[in-house]
Amino acid sequence: MDELNKQAQVLTAIMSGFLVIGHLLYSISYPGGANSFFQSKLYIFCSENPIISALSKRIYGKITDSLGYLLPVNEFISAHDIITEFVDPTELYSKAGHLLFVTFHIQVGMGYLGISFLRAEQSRKNALVEIEQELKKANQEIDASKANGTNDNDRKGNDGKNKDYDPSINFRKSAGPFIFFVALPYMVQIVFYGGMNMYAFHCFRDDIHRTIRLNDLFANDGSRFVATATSKVSNLSPESYASNSETVVTTIYDMVNRNLFSLPKLMLIPGIVAKQPMMMLKITPLILLSDWIKSTIVAVITTELERVNKEVKDVSPKRFG
């Protein structure tokens, strides 16, 4: 009975948690809905209270600042402002939301797949190390039997065994199953789902390109087309605007995509820290140092490349008149 009570309590807590999550998800999706949390008396009271409001704004600001160290949040906001200049926000949000939904599921799935592949690969590497140990052990046994001076029959038996004994046989036998049941499915899934994700993104990116270059340009009696053509401030063509918007969208999407792919691997870190705190303490400075060296070298090369590119542009032939 006591056990049943405990389970009932846990079940109540879990159900309550799920109801709260559901209500929050609904409220975020429909902030203006009658049943939304953002329309509740509690929320209105809190938002109208100057102390709570100031405190929550301060916390929000601090969170945004902290996020700024991990992701270029301000650049994201600027990119959003630029794109909404050209694309209808309602249409943009629905398409971007769906793309994010698809990308999240595919990237997290592929991230988990990557972890299981890494584990399988590591166990195979470990098997390779075990072969060497087994070989050493077998050699030691032979040496020991020779030193003990075993009789001729025993020696023959040992020699016969040594001739047939191959410690790598299991490892070699498992190569085929590893390729066909682990490596190949991994490769196929990465190619297929990665390609599908890229296709969804290209649809989104091309849609924005078309909106800027064609649809929006001639909408509202072609006012934007006239404004672009007669602008004295800029001599950029609609194509240039559309191409630059592509760069903005692609850069932002790549950042999100990469981080989502890394998410499952990052989620392993707390477990590793809990299990091997000393190892993490030893490894982290090395990782940071190697990262710093790598980024310094890349920065030097990039700066030099930019300098050379600028020089090429400056000395390229120009036609006047």
**Given the rule CB under 8 A, which residues bind other proteins?**
6-7, 9-11, 13-14, 17-18, 21-22, 25-26, 28-29, 94-95, 97-98, 101-102, 104-106, 108-110, 112-113, 189, 193, 196-197, 199-200, 202-204, 206-207, 210, 264
Distance CA 266, CA 284 (A): 14
Q: How far apart are the first and last CA of the chain?
A: 97
- Output the smallest distance, CB 221 to other proteins, in A: 22
Cβ-based neighbours of 64, under 8 Å, separated by 6 or more: 73
Distance CA 259, CA 253 (A): 10
- Output the smallest distance, CB 264 to other proteins, in A: 8
Q: Are 238 and 212 in contact (CB under 8 A)?
A: yes
Q: Which is nearer to other proteins, 29 or 64 (CB)?
A: 29
Q: Which is nearer to other proteins, 186 or 241 (CB)?
A: 186
Distance CA 264, CA 274 (A): 17
Q: Which is nearer to other proteins, 176 or 270 (CB)?
A: 270
Q: Which is nearer to other proteins, 25 or 300 (CB)?
A: 25
- Output the smallest distance, CB 72 to other proteins, in A: 25
- Return the closest-CA partner of residue 201 out of 101, 99, 107, 110: 99
Q: Are 242 and 206 in contact (CB under 8 A)?
A: no
Q: Which is nearer to other proteins, 160 or 195 (CB)?
A: 195
- Output the smallest distance, CB 141 to other proteins, in A: 39
What b/e string do you get for 281-293 counting C-beta neighbours within 10 Å, with b at 16 or more? eeeeeeeeeeeee
Q: Which is nearer to other proteins, 128 or 188 (CB)?
A: 188
- Output the smallest distance, CB 205 to other proteins, in A: 8
- Output the smallest distance, CB 200 to other proteins, in A: 5
